[in-house]
Chains A and B, each alone.
Chain A
Amino acid sequence: MSVPALTEQLKQGLDAPICLTWELTYACNLQCVHCLSSSGRRDPRELSTQEAKALLDELARLQVFYINIGGGEPMVRRDFFEIVQHSVDIGVGVKFSTNGAFIDAEAAARLAAMDYLDIQISLDGLDAATNDAVRGTGSYATARRAMDRLAGAGFGPFKISVVVTRHNVDQLDGFKALADQYGAQLRVTRLRPSGRGADSWHELHPTNAQQHQIYRWLLAHGDQVLTGDSFFHLNALGEPLPGLNMCGAGRVVCLIDPIGDVYACPFVIHEQFKAGSVRDEGGFAQVWRHSDLFRSLREPQSAGACASCGSYDACQGGCMAAKFFTGLPLDGPDPECVGGDGERSLAVVVPGTAPRPDQDHSRPVTLLRRRPAAVS
């Protein structure tokens, strides 16, 4: 009896996702320039506490073993602990991403006391200048303070989550040393042109030479760092990196946004990749198993313009979201194709024609600071 390779089977989809991201809220105290969900202001249609718990109950029935909670800043929600506690109580483990602003000593102790809970603190620079240029003034100090508090509370190995950019790629060794110093685990992921990243990606994404640098670094350290398997486009350079070499969108991963809409992955919050809503009849399972979008993503995909390239089996044409938001065809090369085909394709994209993220929760920019009233 011959069994198809595991990745071939995974491409046809599973009965439930392996890895599901749930952005709990679009509200955020920060305004990172690469925020993939363009977060800032809360959406008033956000799932209620009861809806959130009912969704978790459904995920438990589907045997989704753990979820990634993000935002926005998930700890902004007043029912954050109630939701997380409910999740772990019913056997759905939680890994949540935070900028750390709400981890005071009390919260750190509370988090340390919970089982089945992982925390990722976002940090995009090894120093305040590098980090704060992307994540906002003071965010480096905030993140480090949260790490100190988690360590002080005996949380154990939390995660430090780094989005690799042009400006921090030389700091990878330093991030690893910082993680080791805390007894933490380093996670590095790929910058996507999603959300506000659509506007900052062109300035921030690693250069072609840096892509080679990242590949070499991951080959040397890949077994000690988490990557969310997000760098598989680099596999065209040779020996494959650890992890599943495939796009999981709608096949093994998906995103639930704060109002319950279900998207193919966290990086494609756009109408074209919306499969349905957990508020629809049949709930999440109906969307996951039967939506037209997800069924089509589980069909064999065309290699398109990449078919004649000898590296297609290795890189799978790269990331759907990266292509979509840079205006490239989905069946062509990734914009960061290490063969240089992405750069050539990007060069001929007519400026202004790439699809725009169709949601923006950014807070309005304050142009003038109110001056204190003059004392008369």
Chain B
Amino acid sequence: MPVALDTPLELHPQVALRPEPFGALAYHYTNRRLVFLKHPDVVRVVSALAEHPDVATALTACGVTAPRWPSFLKALTSLEHSEIVRERPSTD
């Protein structure tokens, strides 16, 4: 399912990020997937996800302007598919 603006996301706990000039490398220790985060803004958003109630708030907090949101939703959907990010378990 595509990631929506009101989805609560977080970096998957099994994933490590390594900063690189182009953005970051993300490595998932369980499924051994290595993923390139190809823009520093994507890295900032991914790192900030857990601190915010949903994607829209995280994007705003990272200074990503609304016209760029569709491309970020697409990137986050792809990252969720690779299990680099995941929907945050409900705390109820």
A66 lies within 8 A of B39 (CB): no
Docked complex Cα distance between A97 and B21 (Å):
31
Docked-complex contact A63 and B16, CB < 8 angstroms:
yes
Q: How far is the CA of A3 from the CA of B43 in the complex (A)?
A: 14
In the complex, whether B25 has a CB less than 8 A from a CB of chain A is yes
Question: Which residues of the partner chain B approach A18 to less than 8 Å between Cβ atoms?
Answer: 25, 34
Of the candidates B20, B21, B32, the one whose C-beta lies within 8 Å of that of A93 is: B32
Q: Is A81 an interface residue (CB 8 A)?
A: no
Q: Within A10-29, which residues are at the interface with B (CB < 8 Å)?
A: 10, 12, 14-16, 18
Chain A residues near B19 (CB, 8 Å)? 15
Question: Which A residues are in CB contact (< 8 Å) with B38?
Answer: 3, 6
Whole-angstrom distance between the alpha carbons of A340 and B18 in the complex?
41
Residue of B18, B22, B25, B29 touching A3 (CB-CB under 8 A): B22
Return the CB mask of A269-298 against B: 1 if under 8 Å, else 0: 000000000000000000000000000000
CB of B25, distance to nearest CB on chain A (Å) = 7
| Interface SS, A side | loop
A65 and B21 contact, CB distance less than 8 A: no
Residues on the B chain within 8 Å of A10, using CB? 22
Interface assignment of B27: CB less than 8 Å from any CB of chain A: yes
Which B1-39 residues sit within 8 Å CB-CB of chain A? Answer: 16, 18-22, 25, 27, 29, 32, 34, 36, 38-39
* Interface size, A (range): 10 to 19
A57 adjacent to chain B (CB < 8 Å): no
A99-137 interface with B by 8 A CB criterion: 116, 118
Q: Are B18 and A65 in contact (CB under 8 A)?
A: yes
- B13 to chain A minimum Cβ distance, whole angstroms, is 13
Partner of B18, one of A63, A93, A118: A63
* Min CB–CB distance B32 → chain A (angstroms): 7
Q: Do residues A6 and B25 form an inter-chain contact, with CB atoms below 8 A?
A: no
The CA of A118 and the CA of B39, in the complex, are separated in Å by 30
In the complex, chain B residues 36-89 whose Cβ is within 8 Å of any chain A Cβ = 36, 38-39
Task: Give the contacting residue for A9; candidates B18, B21, B32, B34; CB below 8 A.
Answer: B21
**Closest Cβ neighbor of A64 among chain B residues:** B18
Contact partner of A15 among B16, B20, B29, B36, CB < 8 A?
B20
A118–B20 Cα distance when bound, in Å, is: 26
Can you show 12 pairs from A to B with CB atoms below 8 A apart?
A3-B38, A3-B39, A14-B21, A15-B18, A15-B20, A15-B21, A18-B25, A18-B34, A63-B25, A65-B29, A66-B32, A93-B32
Identify the B interface with A (CB < 8 A).
16, 18-22, 25, 27, 29, 32, 34, 36, 38-39
